[in-house]
Structure 1
Amino acid sequence: MTSKRISVSALGLMTAASIITSLRGLPMMAKEELEMFFYIGFSTFLFLIPAGLVAAELGSAFGKREGGIYVWVGEAFGQKTGFIAIFLSWVQNIVWYPTGLSFAAAALAFAIGKPGVASDNIYVGAFTAIAFWLCTLAALKSTWFASKVTQYGFILGTAIPGLVLLGVFIWWIYSGHSVGWETTTDLSVATVTDGHSHPRWFPHLAGLGSLAFLAGILLNFAGVESQAVHANELEKPSSGYPMVILIAALASFTIFTLGALSVAGILPYEKIDIQTGVFDALSMGFQALNAPGWLLPALCLLICYGALGGVLAWITGPSRGLLATAHDGNLPPWMQKTNKAGVQKNILFIQGIVVTVLSCVYLFIKNVSVVFFLISAMAVGLYIIVYLLMFAAAIRLRYSQPHLQRSFKVPGGKTGIWLVAGIGFLAVAFSLVLCFVPPSQLPVGNPATYIALVAGGAIVFCLTPIVLERFRRPTWLPPEDKKERHASDRVSPTERLDLPRDRSHGGVNVKKYPG
């Protein structure tokens, strides 16, 4: 890497790191036993690769403009739709935070030697709310401080524990222990012939409920678009970025597959819990290995640090993207305010309140795994809507702005963009349907209540940006510019007004431009 250029391998690993934020998704994949290859393959080849290529084209076209997906969708469908896209991208992160923090709560419970507490809904709910406010206070101090806390989170809290888990699984096999997927007799993931169990390689289609985990697994592969803006920094973007996506896809596929196989191989099927599966597998493996008693708590403490670091890393990023829309007057003035460190304080406070409300769901549903999946389904549903808009924007811009300079283009002309973006669009559209289907693998209780909660959350969060738009600060021009611009003219959806800014008001300097 140089000051001007970035290597293909470096960007590929950066992209992979943005996708693999923690080990929390491994038990959900392991719950599908060897059917996980279908789910991981679907997520990799029908979603991750198309999303990466499309994001690279859009990122290379608008890489010099702040706003990310707000700019991409806004240029294709107008400023209002762009605002909905960036708002949902921000909100889905808010909905995701409780799942990431509940994973940290389970890690801490195992670290202090109280594994039973990890399934206590009161503990998980309280930990989630308190931990998020502590992360918010750290983020309010400064973005620099947050980056210092989180910079080692991926290595210490994800990479090292993942390698240890894989090492324990390899020892488990070679020491002659029974492999989990070879012993299960559950017909949803295995077939039984003459008293012998044989794992399934493809899902047993007994209804859409048997595929419901696909939506949650898909969420683990999201985030590839976060690094697409760096496509311009490659020596040869047109040939280099496909290699970047290939490296990221292979790394994600390999790490998720080996990690999920480790959990499914060590634990019997009926003992795989989507909340504590990673820790249960490590605990069982260490017991069989006669490992030192301090090893499991130490490793769980690292995983807890990694999960908290991942949450802290995402607290300021998406909200900063939302703040960028304030330059176009898309936010009410009270949401535009920043503190002395330049951090968007009111947006962070709103995040904290919403996360606290979502954490209260744990107080009313005792099964922590059900709440974990319920909130995951809400998050992935919102994120899928963002991806639907992104895929559609890539196709539309090929027609509305054909001469737009793109350092990277999805190959194949219009046929190529229709094929790549179309595959991605259909894949996430199918996953969106599955978000509203109760999973057959979990005791969700009343299916109608489950559907109402997921659908109700999606409707509320989708309507919120439309309501906020009514309280937006209109795009404003100083008097001298008003004379030159006719009233019927329209400002470009993502045009930046070069006006002096007053940080305390989050908008134009009212002292210089009164009224």
Structure 2
Amino acid sequence: MSKPENDNKGSLKYGSFEASGPHAREAAEQVGELYSRISVLSSQQKSSSCSVSIHSDGPKDNSVDGTLDGIDSDDVVDSSPPRTLGVFQLAGLMYLVTAGGGYGLEPVVQAAGPFPALIGLLIVPWVWSAPQALMTAELSTLYPRDGGFVVWVEEAFGNFWGFQVGWWNFFGSLVDNALLPRLFSDYLKIFLGVSHLSIWLSWGGGIFLLLFCFILNYRGLEIVGWASVIFVVIVAIPFAILTLVGLPQSDPKVWLQWRGQRDTNWSLFWATLLWNLCGFDSAGTCAGEVKSASKTYPAAILLSCAMGLASFLLPVAACVTFAQDWDEWNDAFWPVVANRVVGGTWCGTLITLGGLASATGMLNSLMATSSRALYGMATTQLLPPELAVLHRTYKTPVRCIALVAIGTALFSVLSFEKLVEIDSVLYCIKEMLEFMALIRLRYKYPHVSRPFEIPGGLTGVWLCCSSGICCCVLMICLSGLAAFFSAMSMILIGFMLYPLAHWWIAKHEEAQMKESNVVVFDES
């Protein structure tokens, strides 16, 4: 590790972190502290997955991308997951995790009418999606290693809270993932033109979907990324056709209609809107496999946000003129309105195929992000290190991927109404903890130059986090007391699981130490 360097301008340089003026010395000390902390994380990761390689010029750790000691994100060793995701692959994965097309957004129009829906789609992304995206960009480029929010929270508040945020995400990911085979079956019914599927076709389709996504994840994140790009194209084409055909024929007066204060279901409106515009932090779990993360993350997030806004706002504006009975706007309504806008049935068929691709792409992407969160927990010794074993050829965390796939299959047989409400509460609590971690790390390392930094200094960070936390509180309030107290029970389970996991890991380390000890006896 290089030492801080002085120059004639009164600045200090520590690797690629640089500060000048009166805070140069503090910056160097904080970078040293940060580097020491990341070295500890790397030594932990080495003990479980051997991901640190010693070179002649000192230790090189893939925890930091181009930010410490001149480390390049592309300089990886054979025993760690390769950095293969570029801008388009990461943007595709991120888009599917957060948006996945306009599917599921229809109840926003049903609840309030087109005017509140369009205004909400214009404003809410700035106060809800943008804070998540900015947080993910800053912290993923500061800590570009697999694990994402687990690493951020663990670094800010310690092992206990790092474990809790990982547990909340694991439970929520199983609920989210298990919904997608059902969504796939719903669009499969529309595509086949039947009112219901046989039990064999329904279960067979779900099993095929899980196996397909498992194989893609098993082969590596690069394939997952390129598959995400293909799924995004399939999803985007029919909505682009709807927009191009429908907007020129739209009546702008319809955009100003709404149900009125008495008839508007604000709870459904806000819950649907907020739920469809979240999830950017999940993309941070794959940061250890992103090429040049300091450049890739900001570009991918910007591209993903633009695609998400376009795929939500424009199709709604293009189609409301053709479906002015707002009660029609329920789940899976897009194929119906597409046929009205374009004429015939071919566009509705494309929308249906897009729904199948969206469900597949979302499950594929969520399996990747949720398995990397588990992998990050294992490499930071929050879970047994056996989970961090990488495939010998593809360098993928196979055991974590298999655990997510099996959990998804088991959760698919459960009733989801209450689980989804619990999931939304846990997600919001997790998100609030991440925002607090962002604030904490800004105060912990105030003079460290970040590859990407939320503009406006501490004021900008506080505004960003306050906006995100307020939206989280709103979502929790909309979920109701029953969901809140049920979520508290899941949190208590996490509190009880932590000492068990800690005991298991300590026992494993003790066994390893005993195996590694060599006792030499004196023959005399």
Normalised by the size of structure 1, how large is the TM-score?
0.69
Q: 8 Å contact 1:104–1:307 — kept in the other structure?
A: yes
State the match for 2:99 in structure 1. 20
Provide the identity percentage: 20
Residue of structure 2 aligned with 1:396, choices 434, 440, 443? 440
Distance in 1, matches of 2:320 and 2:513, equals: 59
State the match for 1:492 in structure 2. none
Q: 8 Å contact 1:381–1:458 — kept in the other structure?
A: yes
Distance in 2, matches of 1:3 and 1:400, equals: 24
State the match for 2:369 in structure 1. 317
Q: 8 Å contact 1:157–1:303 — kept in the other structure?
A: no
Distance in 2, matches of 1:298 and 1:12, equals: 23
Asked if 1:428 is matched to 2:461, the reply is no
State the match for 2:463 in structure 1. 419
Asked if 1:104 is matched to 2:160, the reply is no
Unaligned runs of 5+ in 2: 1-71, 75-82, 520-524
Matches for 1:298-447 after TM superposition, within 5 Å: 299-332=351-384, 342-345=396-399, 348-349=402-403, 351-353=405-407, 356-361=410-415, 371=417, 376-436=420-480
Q: How far is the alpha carbon of 1:18 from its aligned partner?
A: 5.0
- Alignment-mate amino acid for residue 220 of structure 1: N
Q: 8 Å contact 1:156–1:303 — kept in the other structure?
A: no
Distance of aligned partners of 1:127 and 1:273 in 2 relative to their CA distance in 1, 3 Å threshold: farther
Distance in 1, matches of 2:118 and 2:518, equals: 62
Matches for 1:23-422 after TM superposition, within 5 Å: 23-31=102-110, 32-33=112-113, 34-63=115-144, 65-114=145-194, 116-117=195-196, 126=203, 130=207, 133-135=210-212, 137-138=214-215, 141-143=218-220, 147=224, 150-170=227-247, 173=250, 199-200=257-258, 204=261, 210-227=266-283, 229=287, 233-234=293-294, 241=298, 248-285=304-341, 289=343, 291=344, 296-297=348-349, 299-332=351-384, 342-345=396-399, 348-349=402-403, 351-353=405-407, 356-361=410-415, 371=417, 376-422=420-466
Q: 8 Å contact 1:98–1:358 — kept in the other structure?
A: yes
Distance in 2, matches of 1:509 and 1:157, equals: 53
Distance in 2, matches of 1:218 and 1:124, equals: 33
- Alignment-mate amino acid for residue 164 of structure 1: I
Distance of aligned partners of 1:429 and 1:513 in 2 relative to their CA distance in 1, 3 Å threshold: farther
Instruction: Say which SS state the counterpart of residue 393 (structure 1) adopts.
Output: helix
Q: CA offsets, 1:369-420, max 9 Å, x none?
A: xx5xx65544333222221011111111222332444222223332222122
More RCO (CA 8 Å, sep 6+): 1
Q: 8 Å contact 2:185–2:206 — kept in the other structure?
A: no
Q: How far is the alpha carbon of 1:152 from its aligned partner?
A: 4.7
Alignment coverage as a number of residue pairs: 429
- Alignment-mate amino acid for residue 265 of structure 1: T
Q: How far is the alpha carbon of 1:48 from its aligned partner?
A: 1.2
Unaligned runs of 5+ in 1: 183-197, 363-370, 437-450, 480-506
Q: How far is the alpha carbon of 1:211 from its aligned partner?
A: 3.0
Query: Which segment drifts farther, 245-254 or 307-316?
Result: 245-254
Distance in 1, matches of 2:253 and 2:406, equals: 40
Q: 8 Å contact 2:96–2:358 — kept in the other structure?
A: no
Query: Which segment drifts farther, 339-348 or 32-41?
Result: 339-348
Normalised by the size of structure 2, how large is the TM-score?
0.68
Distance in 2, matches of 1:7 and 1:131, equals: 28
Q: How far is the alpha carbon of 1:69 from its aligned partner?
A: 0.8
Q: How far is the alpha carbon of 1:156 from its aligned partner?
A: 4.1
Q: How far is the alpha carbon of 1:216 from its aligned partner?
A: 2.8
Q: CA RMSD in A?
A: 4.3
Distance in 2, matches of 1:348 and 1:462, equals: 24
Distance in 2, matches of 1:56 and 1:222, equals: 15
Q: How far is the alpha carbon of 1:172 from its aligned partner?
A: 5.5
State the match for 1:474 in structure 2. 505
Distance in 2, matches of 1:405 and 1:476, equals: 39
Q: 8 Å contact 1:319–1:347 — kept in the other structure?
A: yes
Q: How far is the alpha carbon of 1:310 from its aligned partner?
A: 2.2
Q: CA offsets, 1:74-95, max 9 Å, x none?
A: 1111111012112322332221
- Alignment-mate amino acid for residue 274 of structure 2: L
Distance of aligned partners of 1:382 and 1:431 in 2 relative to their CA distance in 1, 3 Å threshold: same
Q: 8 Å contact 2:137–2:452 — kept in the other structure?
A: yes
- Alignment-mate amino acid for residue 392 of structure 1: M
Q: CA offsets, 1:423-445, max 9 Å, x none?
A: 22122222221122xxxxxxxxx
Instruction: Say which SS state the counterpart of residue 500 (structure 2) adopts.
Output: coil
Query: Which segment drifts farther, 380-389 or 351-360?
Result: 351-360
Distance of aligned partners of 1:167 and 1:352 in 2 relative to their CA distance in 1, 3 Å threshold: farther
